[in-house]
Structure 1
Amino acid sequence: MLLIRNSTTGMKLRFKKIKENPVSILRQVGYVFQREEGGEMSFVRELARAGYPRFHIYTKLDGADLIVNIHLDQKKETYGDSTRHHGEYDNSGPVHDEAKRIWDIAWQYCEN
């Protein structure tokens, strides 16, 4: 696993040479597929029945590698004069813990 830390876009993980499709891998980790757009797939794992807070993942393939970008959505976006996203992109605390949890499960779907 390669961790690429970036406080503006969340925490990135790279899974090298995956052996399964990304949807299947992320289902095993507890995520639900949302949509695919522009070569990226979006997945969520809700932490409460109301839908928020939730972990939100964007993935893309880089050859046989799966790039996972994770952040925590605290609450639903606000709309009005502007769109505001209430995401937590800090690479410590819950985002870091969730990235570790994902790695602990998903590494087995990579070639060794």
Structure 2
Amino acid sequence: MEIIVASVIAVLVGSGVYLTLRARTFPVILGITLLSYGVNLMVFISGRLVPNQAPIVSQSSNPTDPLPQALVLTAIVIGFAMTAFLVVLALRGQSDLGTDHVDGQRDGED
């Protein structure tokens, strides 16, 4: 099971880095989103999930750590706000510059 989860995290992070290095705004936004999903999954898995155990220290002999769950929940909200901001920023840049290239140059310009 650990190999599958590690592979999924590696694919998400690798795809996110690849798309973040693209020259268009939509792949960059998608890459940042995939990268954040990979990091969220890594943080969530690091919390030692224990089935049928309460995340309360006094009620269980081997409790689940609630801190990674709270961090991931907060990161999801922040990631959604960041993605919405990036989409609005990309649309504004595209309307002002007439292109969706990240450095503002049209195709074929140097």
> Could you say which TM-score interval applies, normalised by the shorter chain?
under 0.3
The structure number with the bigger radius of gyration is 2
Higher relative contact order (CA 8 A, sep 6+): 1
- Structure number with higher strand proportion: 1
- Structure number with higher helix proportion: 2
